[in-house]
Amino acid sequence: MATDKAYKVLAQAKDISNKKAKELIDRGLVYVEDKKVKIARAEISTDTNFRIEYPDDIEILYQDENIVAVNKPAQVDSYDIQDAIEGAELLHRLDRDTSGVLLLGRNEAFIKQAINEFKNRRVEKHYVAWVEGVLYEEIEIDEPIFTIKKGKAFSVIDPVRGKKAYTKVKPEEIQGKKSKVCIEITTGRTHQIRVHLASIGHPIVGDEQYGSRTQAKRVLLHSSQMKIFDYEFNAREPKDIAKYK
């Protein structure tokens, strides 16, 4: 059976450049059946049938002279959205896999004030996720988080070097051995929700980096609502969050 590097086989199959093919694999958009192709240089059969899942169009929830609120699709980098919206600057970031409310500022004075709100924990942030296992009761997690930023960022619970982090988790629905939960955070540490949920034995479904054993097309985490100053933004749940298959 003939094999070649995955990105080369993809380039040939889809009639695109090797560079473009590698970029699509690195962005996590390429699948073979239900499995994501993770390593662009992995050897793969030359007759492999690929599927490319492009992200949804970016939906603007609200905009005025100060702020733009976007319903970010999963598998899109926050910076790609900043690049796509002229004259707007990110006020915070969501992980590439996370969907939902993402906020950008339009003028320097507002951006400065908004970043200050985030720093002083005055921004209300609500999320929805599917987690491994059955969660019956509300739980508050306030373990300090330390982030290692060499290469791919990775966070750990670390009482000595960690920074304060607070996450409140409330069960909403149970499906088999998975639970849908509502989450509120007051801090914004790197991978905070993911590492906090993993620390209580309930990693987010699809989050292999933090111990999920279930394969999913992405980490099933969605930013559902944000409140800053007098603004309130809500992003509807995408299909994979609204109903777990």
**Burial (CB count within 10 angstroms: exposed 0-12, middle 13-18, buried 19+), residue 55:** middle
pLDDT tens digits for range 157-201:
999 999 999 999 999 999 999 999 999 998 989 999 999 999 999
55: pLDDT strictly greater than 70: no
Quote the tokens at residue 78.
């926050």
> What CATH number is attached to the domain comprising 24?
3.10.290.10
**Considering 15, 64, 95, 158, which one is annotated as catalytic?**
95
14: pLDDT strictly greater than 90: no
7 shares its domain with 110: no
Distance (Å, whole) CA 116 – CA 165: 17
96 shares its domain with 9: no
Span 26-33, average pLDDT = 84
pLDDT tens digits for range 154-169:
999 999 999 999 999 9
34 shares its domain with 77: no
Contact 181, 170 (CB under 8 A): yes
44 shares its domain with 78: no
244: pLDDT strictly greater than 80: no
pLDDT for res 160? 95
Contacts (Cβ under 8 Å, ≥6 apart) of 23:
none
Distance (Å, whole) CA 238 – CA 232: 19
184 shares its domain with 231: yes
233: pLDDT strictly greater than 90: yes
218 shares its domain with 106: yes
> What CATH number is attached to the domain comprising 112?
3.30.2350.10
115 shares its domain with 43: no
Residue after which a domain boundary falls, among 16, 31, 52: 52
Task: State yes or no: is 95 an active-site residue.
Answer: yes
pLDDT for res 25? 87
Give the Cα-Cα-Cα angle 138, 122, 166 (nearest 5 degrees). 35
167 shares its domain with 222: yes
* Beta-carbon count within 10 A of 245 CB: 6
Q: How many domains does the chain have?
A: 2
Which residues form the domain of 41? Answer: 3-52
Quote the tokens at residue 107.
């003028």
> What is the pTM assigned to this prediction?
0.78
23 shares its domain with 87: no
124 shares its domain with 216: yes
- Residue 128 — left, alpha, or beta (φ > 0 → left; ψ -120 to 50 → alpha)? beta
Distance (Å, whole) CA 242 – CA 42: 34
123 shares its domain with 18: no
